[in-house]
Amino acid sequence: MALRPIKNCFDPVLRKQCEIVKNIDGELITLSDDMIETTLAAPGVGLAANQIGIPKRIFVVNMGVDTDKDNLVTLINPEITAMEGSELGEEGCLSIPDVVAEVKRATQVEIKAVDLNGKDVRYEASGFLARALQHEMDHLNGILFWDSLGKIKRDILKRKFKKKLKEQDE
């Protein structure tokens, strides 16, 4: 396993419509292991493959986020099959570190995917986990959490993040 550098939100790979995974081979399993390690080290709740520069439909998410036990699960070719409710909640992203905003999300989701053994899996989630699943799902479609905010709010956050990047360079 290896840590992989996380791309920031200005990298074009974060805007990619990610490709369907056709083969679950050794390379994909290594990718999944590395994504899990990178998420735990960040630390983060989830990570999509394009955040480390691989535009494929795979993400990892900590299913134990609402408990005190980590449970990182890899979802391949995921699809949200049902959504219910709506709530505002604070959200951040490993590709936009230290920037948070209130984002509207469904309160409950049902998601289907394929696991690393090629088996169909289905999960129901609510609360913060439901939010995380919607957030990671958006990454696979080239969407960032601030896209749903108004332009003014988004520009303020972008400026804040650019300033931070500049400070790091100095």
Q: Is 136 a catalytic residue?
A: yes
| 138's tokens | 């958006």
**Contact status: 9 vs Zn ion (CB under 5 A):** no
**Contact status: 49 vs Zn ion (CB under 5 A):** no
Q: How far apart are CA 69 and CA 162, in angstroms?
A: 34
**Contact status: 35 vs Zn ion (CB under 5 A):** no
**Only segment of 25-33, 65-73, 88-96, 151-159 that touches Zn ion (CB under 5 A):** 88-96
Q: How far apart are CA 85 and CA 138, in angstroms?
A: 18
CB-wise, 47 or 76, nearer to Zn ion?
47
Instruction: Write phi, then psi, for 168 (nearest 5 degrees).
Output: -70, -35
110, β-bridge pairs? 82, 124
- Nearest residue (beta carbon) to Zn ion: 93
Q: Site for Zn ion (CB under 5 A): how many residues?
A: 1
Write b or e for each residue in 136-156: b if 16 or more Cβ atoms lie within 10 A of its Cβ, otherwise e: bbbbbebbbbbeebeeeebee
**Contact status: 93 vs Zn ion (CB under 5 A):** yes
Residue 7 Cβ vs Zn ion, minimum distance, rounded to whole Å: 11
**Only segment of 30-38, 55-63, 91-99, 114-122 that touches Zn ion (CB under 5 A):** 91-99
Contact residues: Zn ion, CB under 5 A = 93
